[in-house]
Amino acid sequence: MSDSHLPPSQRGPVASISELLEDANRRLDALAATAAPLARGGAHSGARAAHPPPRPPPPPPAAPPAGGGHLSGAREAFGRFTAGLDWHIEVEERLLFPALERGGVSGPTQVMRREHVRIRELLSTCTRTLGGGDVAAFEAALGGLANELQEHNMKEEHVLYPTIDRLAGAALGDLVRQVQNG
């Protein structure tokens, strides 16, 4: 059985930064996708269909119980997503960007750092709106974050990670282990 279902720190050998962090991006995408349906008061099946199957309109939502009710699941899911994204950004800024810069690559790291600032701002907006129980504002902020991350991840996966894999050379295995250990 593959160990791809395990978090990075619990996996066997991984061949590259690309493999490790592209997988982390997919895991984060899946976590983020669970928060909005939970915030709306529904369950999330884990399926990621482009267009959900047609179904009858849901009944009007009941007033949430005191203490947040259905929002607690959304907050928990979004909290896991935020923790994972924080880890991902921190690993890039602490380990990967300095390695790239030592190899003479600084333009892409400057761009990514600026994008990380924007991503953190959007995370903060999502956290604030979800914490305040404003589901519509949360969904709008989450949509903006998803768009930002989609563009950001394309740059990571097509430029940054392949460049670090190439530049690391013989030290790639050590760098992968450092990232896995956070």
Q: Which of 166, 146, 109 is nearest to 25 (CA)?
A: 146
pLDDT tens-place string over residues 125-136: 999 999 999 999
Q: What is the pLDDT of residue 47?
A: 38
Q: What is the dihedral of CA 91, 73, 59, 36, to 10 degrees?
A: -10
Q: What is the average pLDDT value for the chain, to the nearest integer?
A: 82
At residue 7 the predicted structure's pLDDT band, cuts being 50, 70 and 90, is: low
Where do we find the tokens 């997988």?
Answer: 23
Q: How many CB atoms within 10 Å of residue 175?
A: 20
pLDDT band at 65 (very low <50, low <70, confident <90, very high): very low
According to the model, what pLDDT value does residue 168 have? Answer: 87
Per-residue pLDDT tens over the stretch 73-85: 999 999 999 999 9
* 100, 164 contact by CB (below 8 A): yes
Range of weakest confidence among 93-102, 113-122, 152-161, 172-181: 172-181
In the block, tokens 């530049």 appear at 167
| Cβ–Cβ < 8 Å for 97, 159 | no
- Tens digits of residue pLDDT in 94-145: 999 999 999 999 999 999 999 999 999 999 999 999 999 999 999 999 999 9
- In this prediction, residue 41 carries a pLDDT of 82
Written as one string, the DSSP assignment of 146-175 is HHHHHHHHHHIIIIIHHHHHHHHGGGHHHH
Tokens standing for residue 24: 């982390």
CB 22 within 8 A of CB 157: yes
Q: Which residue has the higher pLDDT, 68 or 140?
A: 140
The pLDDT score that the predictor gives to residue 9 is: 52
Please provide the DSSP assignment of 92-121 as one string. IIIIIHHHHHHTT--HHHHHHHHHHHHHHH
Q: How far is CA 10 from CA 6, 19, 177, in A?
A: 6, 15, 11
Phi, psi dihedrals of residue 157, rounded to the nearest 5°: -75, -25
Residue in 21, 41, 51 with CA at minimum distance from that of residue 149 = 21
Only one residue has tokens 């921190």, namely 90
Gyration radius of the chain over CA positions: 18
Q: State the pLDDT confidence band at 66, using cuts at 50, 70 and 90.
A: very low
pTM: 0.78
pLDDT over 70 for what percent of the chain?
78
